[in-house]
């Protein structure tokens, strides 16, 4: 029975992963993954150390407990899979003292995670937290979060129940207790009146409840905002390593500019010119986004920290950095199956730009990078916003009037101001300058 449940779980999960990989095949290839040592350090600091989460120290502490708890409890889940397939009981007990540390940590964290989840649920159900609201946060989004949190709570309660019934069963039957259970041993006296057969039956019920909830939760995550349980750590590892203020350029455009500025530079004239088709300037739809942009959208925790620090959003403008990232995922979910079936040229007469994200949202961004600085998993929002602006300007010549005036001044005067280049030094005409 366990083998069937495990195979069914892995089969469904493999189907989902294959489907998502198919969507990735339509995104643009961007930066190669290099500097592995530096990336590992960033991952340990931000993902495992939860350094950005602790910027909000109280709620950040409870979130860190949940993350660290999952890391510790993972070992117990692996043991359950071994026991389920081999028919053993506590297969990792051969680890001795290490096993006692693992079980004790798991027992303690089960309680701490349960308390943290109750706090999270209470905040969502009974308190109006501003960053949990917004036009992108629909009723379905809130339900998704509440269901996932409830399942995590049930996972922790079933784990505590399994440990408690195991501890009391071994005590009642005089059999050795493998592992250490500091929390469950305190709960065990509450059920001391039960017979060994009843304790064994209740232990089995908790065991099956816990492992089946893990299987269900694992296959629910890819369709939930909690997909970050799987993807947040690799997303941090794959972070952009450039300074936040540096925006990526298009190589083809950069080359054209350099040719105009330095026409006699041997390095430029020696560079081969390819006959590759002209790529789209910027981003109009999901097939134009980079693989990292799509990975960001799948990893997004929807915590709202980015939107809560966005100066445009704070001053009442429509821009929400969280919505931009969520819209990429939603648009790929809508268009991706059609592209998989009919190829990259498939169109449903809709696009990410305008049907999901408006021009008003894009031009409200000041590219201050507060959102990217605050994001707990290092999503870089301004890059996709600027890429969509790039499409508007370079493909449609669409921009606010003030920006068009700047473009015209640069073209005519070589500067963003409406003054002739010959008049640039008039401000210094009557100045007395002493030269030493």
Render pLDDT for 170-221 as a digit per residue (tens, 0 to 9): 999 989 999 999 999 999 999 988 999 999 999 999 999 999 999 999 999 9
Map residue 380 onto helix, strand or coil. coil
**Has residue 423 got a pLDDT over 90?**
no
Query: Which of 211, 245, 223 has its CA nearest to residue 380?
Result: 245
**Has residue 247 got a pLDDT over 90?**
no
Map residue 22 onto helix, strand or coil. helix
- Distance between CA atoms of 296 and 53, rounded to whole angstroms? 17
Q: How confident is the model at residue 420 (pLDDT cuts 50, 70, 90)?
A: confident
- Distance between CA atoms of 21 and 98, rounded to whole angstroms? 38
Contact 90, 207 (CB under 8 A): no
Q: How confident is the model at residue 427 (pLDDT cuts 50, 70, 90)?
A: confident
Contact 312, 385 (CB under 8 A): no
DSSP-assigned states of every residue in 251-303: HHHHHHHHHHH-TT-HHHHTSPPP-PPPPPSS-SSGGGSBHHHHHHHHH----
**Has residue 13 got a pLDDT over 90?**
yes
- How high is the pLDDT of residue 254? 82
Q: How confident is the model at residue 67 (pLDDT cuts 50, 70, 90)?
A: very high
Domains and CATH numbers, the chain: 32-229 (no CATH), 251-416 (1.10.1060.10)
Average of per-residue pLDDT across 291-304: 94
- How high is the pLDDT of residue 129? 87
* Cβ-based neighbours of 111, under 8 Å, separated by 6 or more: 156, 160, 183
Partnered with residue 357 across adjacent β-strands are: 353
**7 φ/ψ angles, rounded to the nearest 5 degrees:** -65, -40
Tokens of 267: 């390095």
Partnered with residue 384 across adjacent β-strands are: none
> Mean of the per-residue pLDDT values for the chain?
90
pLDDT in tens, 134-171: 899 999 999 999 999 999 999 999 999 999 999 999 99
């Amino acid at each position: 029975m366990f083998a069937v449940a495990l195979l069914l779980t892995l089969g469904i999960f493999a189907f989902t992963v294959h489907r998502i990989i198919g969507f990735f095949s339509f995104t643009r290839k961007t930066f190669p993954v290099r500097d592995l040592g530096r990336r590992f350090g960033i991952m340990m600091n931000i993902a495992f150390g939860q350094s950005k989460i602790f910027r909000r120290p109280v709620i950040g502490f409870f979130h860190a407990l949940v993350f660290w708890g999952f890391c510790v409890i993972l070992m117990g889940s692996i043991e359950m899979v071994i026991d389920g397939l081999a028919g053993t009981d506590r297969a990792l007990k051969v680890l001795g003292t290490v096993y006692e540390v693992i079980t004790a940590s798991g027992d303690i964290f089960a309680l701490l995670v349960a308390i943290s989840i109750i706090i999270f649920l209470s905040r969502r159900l009974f308190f109006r937290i501003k960053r949990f609201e917004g036009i992108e946060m629909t009723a379905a989004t809130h339900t998704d979060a509440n269901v996932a949190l409830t399942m995590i709570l049930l996972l922790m309660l079933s784990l505590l129940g399994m440990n408690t019934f195991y501890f009391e069963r071994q005590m009642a039957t005089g059999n050795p207790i493998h592992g250490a259970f500091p929390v469950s041993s305190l709960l065990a006296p509450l059920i001391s009146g039960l017979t060994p057969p009843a304790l064994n039956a209740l232990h089995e019920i908790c065991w099956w409840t816990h492992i089946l909830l893990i299987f269900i939760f694992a296959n629910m995550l890819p369709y939930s905002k909690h997909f970050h349980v799987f993807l947040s750590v690799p997303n941090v590892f794959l972070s952009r390593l450039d300074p936040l203020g540096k925006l990526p350029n298009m190589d083809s455009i950069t080359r054209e500019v350099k040719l105009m500025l330095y026409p006699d530079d041997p390095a430029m004239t020696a560079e081969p010119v390819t006959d590759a088709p002209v790529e789209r300037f910027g981003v109009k739809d999901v097939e134009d986004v980079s693989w990292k942009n799509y990975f960001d959208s799948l990893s997004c925790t929807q915590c709202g920290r980015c939107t809560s620090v966005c100066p445009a959003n704070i001053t009442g403008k429509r821009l929400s950095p969280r919505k931009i990232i969520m819209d990429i995922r939603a648009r790929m979910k809508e268009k991706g199956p059609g592209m998989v079936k009919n190829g990259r040229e498939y169109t449903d007469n809709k696009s990410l730009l305008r049907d999901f994200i408006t021009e008003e949202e894009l031009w409200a961004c000041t590219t201050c990078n507060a959102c990217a600085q605050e994001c707990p998993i290092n999503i870089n929002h301004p890059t996709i916003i600027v890429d969509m602006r790039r499409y508007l300007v370079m493909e449609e010549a669409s921009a606010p009037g003030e920006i068009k005036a700047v473009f015209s001044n640069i073209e005519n005067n070589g500067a963003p101001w409406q003054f002739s280049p010959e008049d640039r030094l008039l401000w210094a005409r009557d100045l007395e300058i002493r030269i030493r």
